[in-house]
Amino acid sequence: MLHSIVDPLIHKSGAKGGSSRRRGSHASIVAAMRLEIFSDVICPWCYIGKQRFDRAVANLTSTGFNLNLEVSYRPFQLDPTAPLDSPTPVRDAYAKKFGTPERADEILNHVTSIAATDGLNFKMDIALRANTSRAHRLIALAQTTDLDHTKLKELLMNAYFCDGKDISNIDTLVNIAISFGLDSVRVSNMLNSDLGQDQLDADLLRANDLGVTAVPTYVFNDQWSVPGAQDSETFERVLIKLSQQEAK
């Protein structure tokens, strides 16, 4: 059973200075933690959350905080019924989900403005909603190599949110994989088969068993969960608190 660690930390976040005033005193801590981030490639808050979390890690590292953190992205599908080879404009998908094109525009404009504050240039007017199963299988393939799969995750999200790419299209995924450093033949063979589908199904089932119903969800050491795209300072407090706990 997962336990949320965020609520008490958010409650404390009103104190100015927050974690930044305490970082130096924790420089000797070696935090051994395993983090699984349940996320979907087409989830805007997952991309925003990634920017904020990465910034939190960079901030702590820059102050000398010894952070031993193993990060793995895990799959979640916001729309598992979406067809693989029939992408639709994201505005149409949002209008269908939320009732009207006007409501879709309101939501898309809101998330685009928030993304901009985190340095992301969302272009939701050209984004194509598509099934993400192939993208998740590609990420899983990257995790079997020595390459940093978190960078591939970012390339895929950037392709969707900023470049208007169909991230269910095999040719698109192969090109992204090549730019990441994967072998094109290996990737093409995998995507043109069912290789990795059983693992994806098992991972999605595990997310359900853990009680992950929305993304992003950050799960530390199979025990502690942090829901949503928290601000960077909250992520810093979470990392410090769990590091102290694991060091005991």
Distance of alpha carbon 235 from alpha carbon 216, whole angstroms: 13
Burial state string for 34-48 with b = 16 or more CB within 10 A and e = fewer than 16: ebbbbbbbbbbbbbb
Mean pLDDT of 59-78: 94
3-state secondary structure of 16: coil
Q: How far apart are CA 173 and CA 12, in angstroms?
A: 43
- What is the model's pLDDT at position 66? 85
Residue from 152, 122, 147, 145 nearest 39 by CA: 152
Residue 88 CA to residue 176 CA, distance in Å, equals 20
| C-beta neighbour count of 168 within 10 angstroms | 25
Between 14 and 121, whose confidence is greater?
A: 121
| Averaged confidence pLDDT in the chain | 90
CATH dotted code for 1-76+212-248: 3.40.30.10
Structure token pair of residue 165: 């790419």
Mean pLDDT, range 47-54, rounded to an integer: 98
> Does residue 130 surpass a pLDDT of 60?
yes
Is 76 in contact with 132 (CB distance < 8 Å)?
no
Domains in the chain: boundaries:
1-76+212-248, 88-129, 130-205
Whole-prediction pTM: 0.90
Minimum mean pLDDT range among 22-26, 118-122, 225-229? 22-26
Query: Which pLDDT score, from 0 to 100, does residue 29 have?
Result: 53
With cut-offs at 50, 70 and 90, classify the pLDDT of residue 13. very low
Name the pLDDT band for 20 (thresholds 50, 70, 90): very low
Q: How far apart are CA 147 and CA 68, in angstroms?
A: 18
